[in-house]
Amino acid sequence: MSETKIRILELYSGIGGMHYAADLANVGAEVVFSVDINTSANDVYHYNFPETNQQARNIESINAQEINKLKPNVIMMSPPCQPFTRVGLKLDVEDSRCSSFLHLLDVLPHLNTVVWVLMENVVGFETSEMRNMFTQTLKRCDFNYREFILSPESLNIPNSRSRYYLLARKSKDFQFGLENDILTTFPGCSDKLICSSVRGETLEPYLEEHLPSEELERYLLPDKVLFKYWRILDVRQKCANSSCCFTKAYTHYAEGTGSVLQHNTNESCHERFTEYETTGAISTLKPLELRYFTPREVANLMGFPKEFCFPEATSLKTRYRLLGNSLNVCVVSSLLKILLDCNK
């Protein structure tokens, strides 16, 4: 086996989205150390990457000396987004969940081998004080950086998931964009951005082909959800070329947490909902077989490969929550290619 040239330090590793993105990019990289404090996420990560040096630790316990011994070239990370979300308190750097990121800013100037950084976060981070402190630290450490707000739709994946991304490389500047500008498209139209996990531009290739009746029953929307939220449901069919962002509250809350699927496409959704508005009988909507997307389908839309799976003991609620907290593998993989390509 040839020596790996690129060594990745994966921070806030979650269920392994960054790791899968690095594998998909096929840039000769190895995750030499991975860390997260979430035990449920760590169980899933270890289940899929049993040979990776992965630890359940508070990042604040990691110092520059320990990192330098690992000799990483790349830091890939997705820090907690709650301090910057629209539904949060937006406490920014005053939020205790920023403490580990602030610790990293103290550590970064003392890292001897890190020359690339890729960071993902929620939209809203770009206007935060945390972002300002991060970019100022990068500049002091002789990094050049570019910022993006991108959705998987940019890669013709039928799912909306706009996220903030930052790429930074040491010494050599990027050949596109300007610092402090927010880019909303990938630079250029390089064939290198074609992602093998992109199955098509409609939802159908991302759906489970044969869902047994007992499994279908498990995902059908409960009557109480249909009765209370039928007006606000984002209903999609398999031929749709888009779907709403799936959040960690998917199936727990109905509004703004993700699309639902009309499983039976032989019925007219419009006609059934029009009839229901008149009759008020839930039985009117039953033939549509409105259901939640399964965790496997959500994972497909987020670019996770077919070999990704959850431990059997992971509950359905936890699977949705972990996916909602994760990232789109294809978008990150494409950005990693851009980051490591010094001709761009």
Are 151 and 161 a contacting pair, CB within 8 Å?
A: yes
CATH number at residue 267: 3.90.120.10
The reply to whether 94 and 45 lie within a common domain is yes
pLDDT given at position 2: 45
The reply to whether 214 and 163 lie within a common domain is no
Is position 73 within any domain? yes
CATH number at residue 171: 3.40.50.150
247 φψ region: left (φ > 0), alpha (ψ -120 to 50), beta (else): beta
Is position 220 within any domain? yes
Q: Which residues contact 80 (CB under 8 A, 6 or more apart)?
A: 12, 97, 98, 100, 101
The reply to whether 184 and 215 lie within a common domain is no
Count of structural domains within the chain: 2
Is position 313 within any domain? no
Which domain range does residue 112 map to? 6-195+327-340
The reply to whether 53 and 17 lie within a common domain is yes
The reply to whether 74 and 216 lie within a common domain is no
Residue 19 exposed, middle or buried by CB count within 10 Å (0-12, 13-18, 19+) = buried
pLDDT given at position 21: 97
pLDDT given at position 325: 94
Is position 64 within any domain? yes
**Would the CA dihedral through 153, 330, 247, 289 be positive or negative?**
positive
Pair of tokens at residue 181: 């500008």
The residue annotated as part of the active site, out of 81, 98, 245, 330, is 81
pLDDT given at position 90: 64
To 10 degrees, the CA torsion angle through 307, 55, 33, 1? Answer: -50
Q: Which residues contact 145 (CB under 8 A, 6 or more apart)?
A: 117, 135, 138, 139, 166, 167, 168, 169, 179
Which amino acid does the sequence have at 302? Answer: M
pLDDT given at position 88: 56
Is position 1 within any domain? no
Which backbone phi and psi does 181 adopt, to 5 degrees? -90, 145
The reply to whether 112 and 233 lie within a common domain is no
Is position 145 within any domain? yes
Q: Which residues contact 244 (CB under 8 A, 6 or more apart)?
A: 159, 160, 234, 256, 258, 259
| CB neighbours of residue 225 within 10 Å | 17
Is position 318 within any domain? no
The reply to whether 49 and 126 lie within a common domain is yes
Is position 140 within any domain? yes
The reply to whether 83 and 225 lie within a common domain is no
| CB neighbours of residue 292 within 10 Å | 22
The reply to whether 121 and 261 lie within a common domain is no
Known catalytic membership, residue 81: yes
The reply to whether 171 and 238 lie within a common domain is no
The reply to whether 47 and 160 lie within a common domain is yes
Rounded (to 5) percent helix, strand, coil in the chain:
40, 15, 45
Rounded to two decimals, the pTM is: 0.94
pLDDT given at position 207: 97
pLDDT given at position 199: 80
Pair of tokens at residue 52: 């990776």
pLDDT by residue, tens only, the chain of 344 residues: 345 689 999 999 999 999 999 999 999 999 999 999 999 999 999 999 999 999 999 999 999 999 999 999 999 999 876 665 665 556 665 566 778 898 999 999 999 999 999 999 999 989 888 899 999 999 999 999 999 999 999 999 999 999 999 999 998 899 999 999 999 999 875 445 656 667 889 999 999 998 999 999 999 999 999 999 999 999 999 999 999 999 999 999 999 999 999 999 999 999 999 999 999 999 999 999 999 999 999 999 999 999 999 999 999 999 999 999 999 999 999 999 999 985 44
The reply to whether 191 and 222 lie within a common domain is no
